[in-house]
Structure 1
Amino acid sequence: MRGALPAAVFLLCLATSGAHADETAPSPYLLGDWGGLRTRLEERGLAFNFGYGSQVAHNFSGGTDRLTRYADQWLFQATADAQKLWGWKGATLQATVTDRNGRNLGADARIGNSMLLQEIYGRGQTWHLTQLWLNQQLLDGRLQIKLGRLTVGEDFATFSCEFQNLSFCGSQPGNLVGSYWVNWPTSQWAARVKYQATREAYVQLGVYQVNPRYIDDAYARRSGWKLDNPSGTTGALVPVEFGWQPVLGGRPGSYKVGGWYDSSRGADLYEDTHRRPRGMTGGEPLMHSGRYGAYLSFQQQVTGTSEGRGATVFFNAAMADRRTSALDRQFTLGVIYKGPFGRSADAIGFAVGATHSNRRRADFVRENNARTGHKEIAGGGNEYAAELYYNWAPVPGLQVRPNLQYVMHPGGTSANRNAWVAGLKTTIAF
C-alpha cells in the first residue's frame, strides 16, 4: 500500500486541481473551501489543517550504492479558538497527529552523512502525537502561557523548512543534540512562557521533559500516538530566547538569540571515570551533570515588498557542549527569492552550511578501533552541504520543489565520498 501512495496522491492532484482553480481560486487549499464549510467553521472558532508531504532523493555519487528512496508524512491538525467556541477569552487549543513512512537514502546507500538528505524522515516511521496544547494569553496578549504536549522547535529557534536537506530545515539545535532537544514530529510534556515586551521584542522561557523513550523507535511504533507519560525521565530541558522582529523599510525581519540547559547527566565522549582516554582503557565514560548550548538565527527580507516578490537572506548558528555532543556546531546561510519570472507563488532557494563533528569523539573511535580491532569511521571535521531548489506552485495548495544537493566530506571526514543528490519535495495542503 505504501508503495502505491505517491501514485495515489498524484492522481488526487490531477483529479482536483482543475475544478479547484475555477471553484475557489482565492483559497490556499487544494480542495478549496469545502463548499464554504471551512470558512463557516473558522468563523465559529474551529480550523482544520490536513496535509501531505513527500521527499524523493537519489544519489548520483557518494555512498556504496546508487539508490532512490522515498519518505512521506501525513498531517491532521485541529485548532480551536476557545473564546469563539466557549467564551474562554484569550485561549487557543491545538491538536496535531502525524504519520511518517518511507526509507532513508543516506543510511540505505551508506553515504555517511550527518544531516538527513530527506528531512521528513526519522523519529520512528509511524504515528505520532505531535501537539496537544493550550495557549493562554494574558495582559492584553503581551503574556502567553502554553502547556501540554509540545515540540521544542515550534517555539524556540524556529525556522522554516523550505529546503530538503536537514541542515537548512527547522529548529537548528535539534540537528546537533536531537537526543534531548526534540523537534517535530515528537512531543513531550512541557510549558512555555512568552512575554512581548514591545511590538517588536520578546523574551521566552520553556521547560521540557527529557525522556529518551520518546525518541526510541520501538516505543514510537507502540505508543508514539498515545497521550502518556512513560517512565525513564532523566531531567528537564530549559531553553531561553530573546527575539526582535522589526519591519525595516516595509520588509520583515527576525533576529533571535538563545541558549539552553539540560539537567540530565551526559556521558563524556572521550574520558572515562578516571579522566583517562576510554578508547584506550575500555572504561565507563565520565558522567557530567548537565548539557548546554547556544544559538542565533537572523532572517531579513532585503528586496521587494512584504508578502510579495523579493529576496530574504538568513544566517543560523548553533554550538553545543563539546564534552557530550558528537556534533558540536553548525553554521548555515542562504537566500530565498519569492516571485521569480513573474510567478508570485513560485520561489528559488539556495543555501550552504557546515556541520562539525566533535574531534573528541573521533579520537575516542580511533583509539577504540586500535584496541578492539573495530573499523568504525568517525569524522572530526566539517560536513559541508549545499542545496538549490525551485518551488513550483501550479495550483493553490500544491507545491512541487525539485532540488539538487551536494554533500562534501559526509560525516565530517574525507573517508566518505562526496555525494551529489537529486531530490523532489512535494507538499499538499488539502
Structure 2
Amino acid sequence: MGLALPAAGFAQTPTQIEEDRARLGNSTPLIQEIDPATVRDSERAQADAEEKAAGSDKLDTSGNLLGDMGGARPWLYRHGISFDIQEVDELWGNATGGTPSTNGDGQGSGTGPAYDGVTMPTLTVDLEKLFGLKGGLFNVSALQTRGRSISQDHLNNFNPVSGFEADRSTRLFELWYQQSFLGGKLDVKIGQQDLDTEFLISDYGALYLNANFGWPMAPSVNLYGGGPSWPLSSPAVRIRYRPSEKFTFMFAAADDNPPGNRSNSFGIQGGNPVDPTNQTTNDGSGTRFNMGTGALLITELQYALNPQPDDMSNVTKNPGLPGVYKLGGYYDTARFPDYRYNTLGQSLGASGGTPRWDRGNWMVYGIIDQMIWRPSLTSARSLGVFARATGNSGDRNMISFAIDAGLNLKAPFRGRDNDTIGLGWGIGRASSGQRAYDRTSGSLVQGNENHLELTYQAQVTPWMVMQPDFQYVWHPAGGGSDPSYPWRRTGNEAVFGLHSNITF
C-alpha cells in the first residue's frame, strides 16, 4: 500500500530527516518517533519523495484526515503556506515492577494503565513562493500536552519509556527563520529551536518509542531541563553546510536552560517537587525566551557511505549498501552542581550541605546507521543496524556513559512497504560522582540501567500510523532506591504500549 501524505511543496534545502532518508535509500522508518516535529518532518519527507517519483508538484491531501479543508489547503499551498496538525496519543501499562508513587508516599500500585497525548499545529511559509525571497523559510508551532507520564509516576527510570511524555501545558514550541545560501549548500536557522530534530539523531534508532533512542539518556538527565529538546526549545542559531552529498557539517549555539531554573533542577540539589522535569517551572507557556544562563555549543560531522541515487530503477551499477556515520559533541558554559563536594570542600554525601558549583560541562558521541542487507536494488525490504555511544565527565553528571543499538527490518511483509519492525537495546551507567554520593550518604548505590524494546510501526491508513510496543527495563535508575521504600530497589519493569500518529 502506497503512502499519500501532504506535500511540503517548498523549494528549499531538505530537512535533516529528509537528507538522511535519501542517503539511506528510503530504508529508515516511515515516521521518526523522536517528537511531533520529527513526525511532521518524516511525513513531509515521504511526501516529497513521492512527488519526485510521480513527477508532479500538485498538492496531494489524501494523507490528511481533513483532506483539502474545503479548498483552503490548495489555496494556501499556491502562496507557499502549509498548515499541518499532528496528533499523537499513547496508552501504556506497567505489568511488573515499578514503584507505587515517585513522590514517596507509597500510595497505590506500581502497575496499571496511563495515557498521554500531544497535539501540535505547525504553520510553515516558503517566502520564495510568497513574495520571491529565494531560500527563505519561516516556521512556528505550538504544543498542547495532556495526560500523565507513566515514567514519572510509576517507573523511576533514567529515561521515560516514551519520548512523547510531557507535563500538561499549552505552549509555544518553535519559532524560527531559515535562510539558505550557495545554491542550498549552506543554510542558517535562527530563533526558538528544538535541537533534537537535527542533532544526535540515529535515523534507524528513531523508530523506537523509548526516549533514550531519540534525545539520549545523558543530555536528558545531565542538562538543565534536558536542554533544548522536546518539549522545550531555546533561542538558538544553527548553521548547516553540505559541501557534497557525502559530507555535512552542523553547528548550533543555544541557551542551555529553556525554563531558566537553576536552584533545584537536579536531584543532587533536592530536586523540584512541584515540577520534577522542569518543563513548566518559570515558563509554562514557552514564551520566556531565556538567554540569561549558559550557552550550549554543539557540533556534528556526518559522512554518508554509498549515498543512494534518487531513482534506483535506472541504476546500472550497484551503488553499495548505504550508511551514515556521525561524530559530535557539546560544551555547556554554565555552572553545574558537584556530586562529590559541598561548598566547604567536604564530602557532599557524608556531610550534606549545598553542592559546590563546577564550571562547564561536555559530552562526545558517535552514531552509526548502516544497511546490511536488501534482496534487490529496487526492493522496499531492507535490514539496517544502528549504534550510538555517548560519554562525558562524572563529577557533575548523573549519567557518564550510555550505548544504544538495534536491528530494523523495513517492509517485513508482502504489501507492507511502509512498515518496520525493530528490536533495540540500551544501557546507561550512573556516573562515578553519583555512585560516590550514594556510598557516602548510605543510599543504595546506582549502577547500570538496561532496557530492551520490541516495536512494530504499521501504516493503517494514509493519515494514521499505529505502533504496538513492548519494553523491559532491568535495574530502573541503575538499581536505585524505590522512592516509596528507600531500603529496596525499584523492581524490573515490563511495559506494554500502543502509540498512534494522526495527520489532520
**TM-score when normalising by structure 2:** 0.73
Instruction: Give SS of 2:76's match.
Output: helix
Name the structure 2 match of 1:398.
464
Q: Higher strand fraction: Structure 1 or Structure 2?
A: 1
User: How far 1:273 moved relative to its partner?
Assistant: 3.6
Name the structure 1 match of 2:407.
335
Name the structure 2 match of 1:120.
164
User: How far 1:73 moved relative to its partner?
Assistant: 0.7
Q: Which of 403, 411, 430 in structure 1 is aligned with 2:477?
A: 411
Instruction: Give SS of 2:196's match.
Output: helix
Instruction: Give SS of 1:164's match.
Output: coil
Q: Which of 139, 149, 169 in structure 1 is aligned with 2:192?
A: 149
Name the structure 1 match of 2:484.
none
The letter of the residue matching 1:331 is: I
Q: Which moved more, 1:194-203 or 1:25-34?
A: 25-34
Q: Is it true that 1:355 corresponds to 2:441 in the alignment?
A: no
Which runs of 5 or more residues in structure 2 are unaligned? 1-58, 100-109, 266-274, 309-318, 481-488
Name the structure 2 match of 1:90.
135
Query: What are the superposed Cα offsets for residues 247-306 of structure 1, whole Å, 9 maximum, x if unpaired?
Result: 163654322110111110111111234544221222432221111111112112333357
Q: Give the Cα–Cα distance (whole angstroms) in 2 for the partners of residues 285 and 221 of structure 1.
A: 21
Q: Give the Cα–Cα distance (whole angstroms) in 2 for the partners of residues 240 and 52 of structure 1.
A: 31
Q: Is it true that 1:244 corresponds to 2:303 in the alignment?
A: yes
Query: What are the superposed Cα offsets for residues 110-133 of structure 1, whole Å, 9 maximum, x if unpaired?
Result: x321111222112x3212221110
Q: Following superposition of structure 1 onto structure 2, how do residues 213-252 of structure 1 map, counting pairs within 5 Å?
A: 213=259, 217=275, 220=280, 223-230=283-290, 233-246=292-305, 247=307, 249=319, 252=322
User: How far 1:28 moved relative to its partner?
Assistant: 2.9
Q: Give the Cα–Cα distance (whole angstroms) in 2 for the partners of residues 118 and 89 of structure 1.
A: 39
Name the structure 2 match of 1:41.
76
Q: Give the Cα–Cα distance (whole angstroms) in 1 for the partners of residues 325 and 378 of structure 2.
A: 17
CA separation of 1:114 and 1:226: change in aligned 2, threshold 3 A: closer
Q: Give the Cα–Cα distance (whole angstroms) in 2 for the partners of residues 395 and 71 of structure 1.
A: 22
Q: Which of 114, 121, 126 in structure 2 is aligned with 1:81?
A: 126
Q: Which of 218, 241, 259 in structure 2 is aligned with 1:195?
A: 241
Query: What are the superposed Cα offsets for residues 88-117 of structure 1, whole Å, 9 maximum, x if unpaired?
Result: 1111111111111111223333x3211112
Q: Please say if residues 186 and 214 of structure 1, whose CA atoms lie closer than 8 Å, have aligned partners that are also in contact.
A: no
Q: Please say if residues 148 and 189 of structure 1, whose CA atoms lie closer than 8 Å, have aligned partners that are also in contact.
A: yes
Q: Is it true that 1:425 corresponds to 2:499 in the alignment?
A: yes
Q: Is it true that 1:271 corresponds to 2:341 in the alignment?
A: yes
CA separation of 1:345 and 1:34: change in aligned 2, threshold 3 A: farther
Instruction: Give SS of 1:60's match.
Output: strand
Q: Following superposition of structure 1 onto structure 2, how do residues 150-169 of structure 1 map, counting pairs within 5 Å?
A: 150-160=193-203, 161-169=206-214
Q: Please say if residues 241 and 249 of structure 2, whose CA atoms lie closer than 8 Å, have aligned partners that are also in contact.
A: yes
Q: Which of 89, 95, 110 in structure 2 is aligned with 1:60?
A: 95
Q: Please say if residues 78 and 95 of structure 1, whose CA atoms lie closer than 8 Å, have aligned partners that are also in contact.
A: yes
The letter of the residue matching 1:321 is: S
CA separation of 1:401 and 1:226: change in aligned 2, threshold 3 A: closer
The letter of the residue matching 2:169 is: T
CA separation of 1:328 and 1:255: change in aligned 2, threshold 3 A: same
Q: Please say if residues 56 and 69 of structure 1, whose CA atoms lie closer than 8 Å, have aligned partners that are also in contact.
A: yes
Q: Please say if residues 214 and 224 of structure 1, whose CA atoms lie closer than 8 Å, have aligned partners that are also in contact.
A: no
The letter of the residue matching 1:149 is: Q
Q: Is it true that 1:101 corresponds to 2:171 in the alignment?
A: no
Q: Please say if residues 188 and 214 of structure 1, whose CA atoms lie closer than 8 Å, have aligned partners that are also in contact.
A: no
Q: Following superposition of structure 1 onto structure 2, how do residues 315-394 of structure 1 map, counting pairs within 5 Å?
A: 315-342=387-414, 343-369=416-442, 377=444, 379=446, 381-394=447-460
Q: Please say if residues 235 and 290 of structure 2, whose CA atoms lie closer than 8 Å, have aligned partners that are also in contact.
A: no
Name the structure 2 match of 1:30.
65
Instruction: Give SS of 1:407's match.
Output: strand
Instruction: Give SS of 1:108's match.
Output: helix
The letter of the residue matching 1:360 is: G
User: How far 1:341 moved relative to its partner?
Assistant: 1.5
CA separation of 1:31 and 1:252: change in aligned 2, threshold 3 A: farther
User: How far 1:35 moved relative to its partner?
Assistant: 5.5
Name the structure 2 match of 1:130.
173
Q: Give the Cα–Cα distance (whole angstroms) in 2 for the partners of residues 252 and 390 of structure 1.
A: 23
Query: What are the superposed Cα offsets for residues 338-389 of structure 1, whole Å, 9 maximum, x if unpaired?
Result: 21211112221110110111232132133224xxxxxx6551x110000101
% same residue: 27
Q: Please say if residues 251 and 306 of structure 1, whose CA atoms lie closer than 8 Å, have aligned partners that are also in contact.
A: no
Q: Which moved more, 1:347-356 or 1:249-258?
A: 249-258
Q: Please say if residues 269 and 364 of structure 1, whose CA atoms lie closer than 8 Å, have aligned partners that are also in contact.
A: yes
Q: Is it true that 1:282 corresponds to 2:352 in the alignment?
A: yes
Instruction: Give SS of 2:97's match.
Output: coil
Question: Which is bigger in relative contact order (C-alpha 8 A, separation at least 6)?
Answer: 2
Q: Please say if residues 319 and 329 of structure 1, whose CA atoms lie closer than 8 Å, have aligned partners that are also in contact.
A: yes
Instruction: Give SS of 2:244's match.
Output: coil
Instruction: Give SS of 1:302's match.
Output: strand
* Alignment size in residue pairs: 397
Name the structure 2 match of 1:3.
none
**TM-score when normalising by structure 1:** 0.85
Query: Please, what is the CA RMSD of the aligned residues?
Result: 2.6
Instruction: Give SS of 1:412's match.
Output: helix
User: How far 1:334 moved relative to its partner?
Assistant: 0.8
Which runs of 5 or more residues in structure 1 are unaligned? 1-23, 370-375
Q: Please say if residues 425 and 450 of structure 2, whose CA atoms lie closer than 8 Å, have aligned partners that are also in contact.
A: yes
Instruction: Give SS of 1:175's match.
Output: helix
